[in-house]
Amino acid sequence: MSNNQTTAGIIGSALLALTGATCCALPIALVALGLGGVVASAVSALPWLGVLAEYKAVTFGLTAAILGYSWWRIRRSSLCEIGESGRLRVQKIILWVISALFAASVFAAYALFPLTLFLDSFD
């Protein structure tokens, strides 16, 4: 079992989860806090954020695939390599944090606005 493949999967998952958070979750959170001007200036200064937001389904799909691969590698490593428990524990903690960030990004990108509209309908 190659430790480098597991580490590469975790690094890839982290980068894609951060990309998804940057393009989708962060702008929504800033607008919700009343900082829409920050979002507008960030998109004008970093135009790739707008392009990335158009392809968020691809970004999230790729992130989910790499996260699944990373979890599969961790599971196989924990079954095969008994002497590596410290390294595996750190990798699992990192993977849990990345998974939570990914879940929050998907929620913000796809469910936050419809949920807000639904809750506003009760006013």
**Number of domains into which the chain is organized:** 1
pTM of the model: 0.75
The pLDDT, as a whole number, for residue 96 is 93
Tell the burial category of 66 from Cβ atoms under 10 Å away from its Cβ (0-12, 13-18, 19+): buried
DSSP, collapsed to helix, strand or coil, labels residue 67 as helix
Strand, helix or coil at 121? coil
Query: By residue range, what is the domain housing residue 34?
Result: 3-120
Q: What is the mean pLDDT of each run of 10 residues along the chain (123 residues)?
A: 71 82 75 76 78 82 89 77 73 90 86 82 79
* pLDDT number for residue 1: 47
